[in-house]
Amino acid sequence: MLGALAQGSPALKQVQVSYTNPETGGDAENILGFYALMLRPGQSLRLPARSTA
């Protein structure tokens, strides 16, 4: 799925798909959301630090 999205949208830096619960439309997990992220060859990603506090 990510490969097909990447081919259809070459201008995007990265491709991301979020998964949802089909019964509720909410996050796939009760506590955490779930997503898949694909970087193109040679790309890197620096994620921000996150804390619950």
Per-residue pLDDT in tens (0 to 9) along the chain, 53 residues: 677 777 776 666 677 788 888 888 887 777 777 778 888 777 777 877 877 66
Residue-level pLDDT at 10: 67
Q: Which residue is listed with tokens 């992220």?
A: 37
pTM above 0.75, yes or no: no
The pair of structure tokens assigned to 17 is 């798909």
pLDDT score of 48: 79
Given this model, what pLDDT does residue 40 score?
77
- As to burial, measured by CB atoms within 10 angstroms (0-12 exposed, 13-18 middle, 19+ buried), residue 50 is exposed
Which H or E run includes 4?
A: helix 2-8
